[in-house]
Structure 1
Amino acid sequence: MLNDTSTNKLLSVKKRLKQALAAQKLSALNAASKISPKPVEDVTLFRDAVKDVTPLTASPDTLFKLKPKPIPLQFIRDEQQALVDSLSDHYIPAHELETGEELLYLRDGHSPDILSKLRRGHWVIQAKIDLHGLISDEARLYVSTFISDCKKRGIRCVRIVHGKGLGSRNREPVLKHKLRGWLMQKDEVIAYAEAKKQDGGSGAVIVLLKA
């Protein structure tokens, strides 16, 4: 059995252990309180940081959608009308080769060899259009637009199918004769000649454009 002295010593040791444990818990709580975030202070800091920012009034989806550029429809219509107006149906050529019904033309100032080469197929046909089914105004716009586009693309030799007029009133090749005048009015056209049989014969024309 323990005597009174030993008992008192044991109680003293237990007391000191309890005090030490209590001190450790208090120390741990103080350390945790220093590390843990302070919600109120954080919110205040954030508000101070963004106080000068203007809030968005639309959703992000709306803000970042790219608007398509407007199509200049009136400008396109004006350009097309200018092309149509630039070609007359009543043009009287100053220089035209007398070849009967054959379409044949050489712009003044160019060598006659050009026509010979064109008729022999010297230049490769790079583009073509067909005027079948078009009325006069439609065909005129189509021809003018086509030649202008070929000039931009650097195309030299083209074929235009105008038809033989078998399906027209009085079976006359209306577009064939109008096309002759239209081509003469285009500065881009150097010469033209009736196509070979395999390329359409009297129903088509081969046109040489400026380089």
Structure 2
Amino acid sequence: MAKRVLREEEAALWRMVVRDIEPLHPDRPKSRPAPVVVSPTASTPEKKEKLTVVSAPSNSELSFKAMLSRPVIRRPKLQDLRIGVRSPGLDDTSWKRLSRGDLKVDAKLDLHGYIVQDAFERLIEFMHRAKSRNWRCVEVVTGLGSGATSGLIRRELPLWLQRSDIRPMVLAVVHPHSANHGSVRILLRTKRR
């Protein structure tokens, strides 16, 4: 009987220690702690009251049918963004107009002469401004670069557009001039008016 009481105390202590631990992957759904049902048993005046701890069944103890009935949350994964490659979900007319350079550019951002960190900050601000103003097509000029470390901004731009706060805004990216890769045109998702 003393071993059983000790095990129950250890289990309670373990639950207290584990309850504040943060998961390594916060985007995964958090598992809820198993509900604990405490039911007192009949007591006699000379014996202390015993408590029985009953926990919810784990996934391995659930039936196959019960596991299938649980909802599964799936988030659509956005395809990696590549310059000059048509994204799924983009209609033919918009793609042709963008790739030919026929779409009207709503705003232009010139990143010539900036260091990489400043260019990154300006791009993030520009993209959020484009979203708030519901612009359809924007142009970002990075320049070709010169010197030993030429074109750092040009090389980093696709990675910046792939960020989780920017990627949902972008439909497609193309070079407006096939001979000059120092600028890109970005087709953005817009809110319906």
TM-score by length of 2: 0.50
TM-score by length of 1: 0.46
Q: Bigger radius of gyration, 1 or 2?
A: 1
Higher helix share: 1
Higher strand share: 2
